[in-house]
């Protein structure tokens, strides 16, 4: 029997039972579509996050307080990072071009009769826009002198500016943050969401104002104003490892802790990307496995229907044997049918998967990336599943005795 | 009778089912000869072994012992694959229940044996052309594209006969070919078989109906797995005389 003949016979058998064939294929269709969509979503998410991380600016080292090791309030230990740490890094670590400090608060912001509650207040230093790669849309960022003098000035995120002032220019106008009146001196360009942070809906203040008005603390007098995060921007040709070591040693000394018990962590962008990658890779392989399981379930469906089909068509098998079909002809016929079911199912699954991924990103706003290798993988596994689960029924058919098969009612 | 080529020669064929003490001999030493161009009936009550003999003659099973020469070739020790090839090239089956593929046109049913022919390469046009020619020959030229359920029993049996003929077999094996038909269609089928016989076909027909067997030249009576008697039915060689009822 020529292969084309086997395909024709198999195709006719599939076409004769359209609904049943479709239901049989459904498992494979869903499996393949699921693999493509799932991998597409996780790859899209990963790409988006990576882009955001690199958009934060390059050559950055992040220093954060870590409360897991250092236990505040115990012995000589400090309460984490303080503002003076940043000046020490600036002064004593080699290869540093800029140091930026962040401290957060959350306050009610009022302008005229517009009141916004729980607006994020970010106290920073002058290097912030350059380190974080944010442009100024209007006006300017604050100067060092304004920080030193605790000038009550504010820079607005773009969407916050719109909410508070509509389309009017906010420059020179006043806003009330908590109970403090501040002059707006600038508006940032739109930046969007980076991770969980919305850069456009915040108020940016000189960090000294935040210390004074929003995060005053008794301990600050003794230990200095605590900060959430210190960004260190490196010289282009600075050695990353050396800078990290210098920062770690310096801060450990300043905080009176050993490196093992450090109450801060130093991470690089590469660390963040790697963590991110390993998380999404784990996530993605989990999704792929789940989708793979549905492919196997689809294969079992094919085997089930093929077994039913062999029984139902026992007489047909007998007829074919009587006119000269060899066991191998029969095996090939049923194997081809199973393969064709899974391949057609796989093709429909690819169409649905690619279409589904587009629709998903259109409706959810999440990015999906169609990975060619996920299509090949899904399609290949569908074909393998078809061959694997089709072999047993095909073999059953091939081993039928022609006399018994012809007698079968 | 002219000494003609032997199409079938069986030598002491036995077919034993089961093993040891519970074994049953369905055929217990059957030796028959059938020559080219003969029309022979095999008769016998149920249990006589006529179905078993037909299966062996039809290369659907092998004898336990003894020899079966089909068209001069010993086929009694061939394996499944070789038997399938013999069935394909040398034999044509006509069954009581027609055994057509359902939901498949008459034409496709007739081309079926050609699909499994490894010795010849047919283009689809060639095989369709040959199948339609044979359908025409059995009087179904206009029904080539009908499916079995759209045909009468007699017509379905004609399709089956066309299928049996398509690979130019040396032997037609008919198993109660009129058993499922009313007397009129049955008669038409017998007339068709006679015509094929007159055209030179060798036919072995299994039946339990003595009226039908009387149409043939010879009747081999089986009983308990042995040849009981062989009766000449007084029919002459093909082409000499019109068939009488």
Alpha carbon of residue A218 to chain centroid: 40
B153-165 helix and B124-137 helix, angle to the nearest 10 degrees: 130
The rounded distance, in Å, linking the Cα atoms of B70 and B60 is 13
Minimal CA–CA distance to A40: which of A365, A356, A387, A383? A356
- Confidence (pLDDT) at A17: 87
CA of B8: how far to CAs of A205, B76, B91, B225, in Å?
Answer: 108, 12, 12, 18
Q: Which domain holds residue A71?
A: 67-262
Same domain for A258 and A280, yes or no, is no
CA of A152: how far to CAs of A119, A142, A147, A377, B119, in Å?
Answer: 17, 10, 9, 59, 99
Distance from CA of A331 to the nearest CA of B (A): 13
Q: Least CB-CB distance to A323: which of B81, B87, B104? A: B87
- CB contact under 8 Å between B85 and A406, yes or no, is no
Distance from CA of A404 to the nearest CA of B (A): 10
Can you give the CATH number for the domain in which B139 is found?
3.40.50.300
Same domain for A166 and A247, yes or no, is yes
- CB contact under 8 Å between B84 and A326, yes or no, is yes
Same domain for A242 and A389, yes or no, is no
Same domain for A126 and A219, yes or no, is yes
- Confidence (pLDDT) at B15: 94
Could you give the number of structural domains in chain B? 1
Listed in sequence order, the residues at least 6 apart from A136 whose beta carbon sits closer than 8 Å to its beta carbon are A129, A155, A186, A187, A188, A189
For residue B227, is it within any domain?
Answer: yes
Same domain for A160 and A299, yes or no, is no
Task: Give the count of beta carbons closer than 10 Å to the beta carbon of residue A368.
Answer: 26
Same domain for A26 and A72, yes or no, is no
- CB contact under 8 Å between A1 and B116, yes or no, is yes
Q: Which domain holds residue B154?
A: 6-232
For residue B65, is it within any domain?
Answer: yes
Same domain for A17 and A147, yes or no, is no
Same domain for A32 and A87, yes or no, is no
Same domain for A72 and A35, yes or no, is no
For chain B, 245 residues long, give each residue's pLDDT as a single digit of tens. Answer: 456 789 999 999 999 998 778 888 999 999 999 999 999 999 998 889 999 999 999 999 999 999 999 999 999 999 999 999 999 999 999 999 999 999 899 999 999 999 999 888 888 899 999 999 999 999 998 999 999 999 999 999 999 999 999 999 999 999 999 999 999 999 999 999 999 999 999 999 999 888 888 889 999 999 999 999 999 886 544 443 444 43
For residue A111, is it within any domain?
Answer: yes
- CB contact under 8 Å between B116 and A324, yes or no, is yes
- Confidence (pLDDT) at B244: 42
Minimal CA–CA distance to A158: which of A134, A125, A183, A194? A134
- CB contact under 8 Å between A319 and B101, yes or no, is yes
Listed in sequence order, the residues at least 6 apart from B113 whose beta carbon sits closer than 8 Å to its beta carbon are A323, A324, B88, B92, B163, B166, B167
For residue A270, is it within any domain?
Answer: no
Nearest C-alpha in B relative to A399: B80
Could you give the number of structural domains in chain A? 2
For residue B206, is it within any domain?
Answer: yes
Mean pLDDT confidence for A182-210: 86
């Amino acid at each position: 029997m020529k292969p084309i003949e086997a395909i024709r016979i198999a195709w006719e058998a599939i076409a004769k039972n359209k609904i049943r064939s479709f239901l049989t294929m459904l498992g494979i269709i869903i499996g393949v579509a699921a693999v493509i969509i799932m991998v597409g979503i996780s790859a899209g998410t990963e790409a988006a996050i990576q882009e955001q991380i690199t958009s934060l600016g390059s050559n950055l080292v992040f220093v954060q307080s870590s409360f897991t090791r250092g236990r505040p309030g115990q012995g000589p230990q400090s309460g984490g990072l303080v503002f003076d740490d940043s000046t020490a890094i600036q002064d004593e670590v080699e290869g540093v071009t800029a140091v930026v400090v962040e401290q957060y608060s959350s306050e009610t912001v009022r302008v005229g009769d517009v009141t916004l509650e729980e607006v994020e207040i970010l106290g920073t230093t002058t290097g912030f826009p350059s380190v974080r790669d944010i442009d100024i849309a209007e006006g300017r960022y604050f100067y060092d002198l304004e920080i030193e003098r605790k000038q009550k000035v504010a820079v607005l995120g773009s969407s916050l500016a719109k909410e508070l002032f509509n389309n009017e220019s906010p420059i020179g106008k006043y806003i009330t943050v908590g109970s403090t009146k501040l002059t707006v001196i600038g508006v940032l360009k739109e930046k969007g969401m980076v991770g969980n942070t919305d850069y456009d809906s915040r108020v940016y203040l000189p960090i000294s104002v935040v210390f004074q008005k929003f995060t005053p603390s008794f301990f600050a007098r003794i230990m200095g104003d605590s900060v959430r995060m210190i960004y260190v921007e490196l010289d282009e040709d600075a050695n990353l490892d050396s800078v990290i070591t210098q920062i770690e040693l310096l801060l450990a000394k300043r905080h009176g802790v050993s490196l093992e018990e450090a109450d801060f962590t130093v991470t690089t962008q590469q660390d963040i990307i790697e963590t991110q990658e390993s998380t999404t890779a784990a996530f993605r392989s989990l999704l792929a496995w789940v989708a793979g399981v549905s492919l196997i379930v689809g294969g079992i469906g094919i085997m089930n229907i093929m077994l039913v089909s062999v029984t139902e068509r026992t007489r047909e098998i007998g007829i074919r044997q009587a006119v000269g079909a060899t066991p191998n002809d029969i095996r090939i016929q049923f194997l081809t049918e199973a393969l064709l079911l899974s391949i057609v199912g796989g093709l429909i699954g690819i169409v649905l998967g690619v279409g589904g991924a587009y629709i998903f990103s259109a409706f959810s706003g999440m990015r999906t990336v169609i990975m060619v290798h996920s299509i090949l993988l899904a399609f290949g596994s569908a074909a393998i599943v078809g061959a694997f689960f089709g072999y047993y029924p095909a073999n059953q058919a091939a081993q039928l005795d022609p006399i018994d098969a012809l007698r079968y009612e | 009778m002219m000494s003609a080529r032997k199409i079938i020669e069986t030598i002491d064929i036995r077919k034993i089912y089961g093993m040891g003490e519970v074994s049953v001999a369905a055929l217990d030493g059957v030796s028959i000869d059938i020559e080219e161009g003969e029309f022979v009936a095999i008769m016998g009550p149920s249990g006589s072994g006529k179905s078993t003999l037909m299966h062996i003659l039809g290369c659907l099973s092998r004898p336990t012992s003894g020899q079966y020469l089909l068209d001069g070739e010993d086929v009694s020790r061939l394996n499944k694959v070789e038997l399938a090839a013999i069935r394909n090239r040398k034999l044509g089956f006509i069954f009581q229940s027609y055994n057509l593929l359902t939901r498949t046109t008459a034409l496709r049913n007739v081309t079926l044996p050609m699909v499994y022919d490894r010795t010849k390469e047919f283009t689809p046009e060639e095989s369709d052309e040959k199948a339609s020619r044979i359908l025409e020959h059995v009087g179904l030229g206009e029904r080539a594209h009908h499916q079995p359920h759209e045909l009468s029993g007699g017509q379905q049996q004609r399709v089956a006969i066309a299928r049996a003929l398509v690979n130019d077999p040396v032997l037609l094996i008919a198993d109660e070919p009129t058993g499922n038909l009313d007397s009129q269609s049955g008669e038409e089928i017998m007339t068709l078989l006679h015509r094929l016989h007159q055209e030179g076909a060798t036919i072995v027909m299994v039946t339990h109906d003595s009226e039908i067997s009387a149409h043939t030249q010879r009747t081999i009576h089986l009983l308990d797995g042995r040849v009981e008697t062989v009766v000449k039915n007084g029919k002459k060689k093909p082409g000499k005389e019109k068939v009488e009822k």
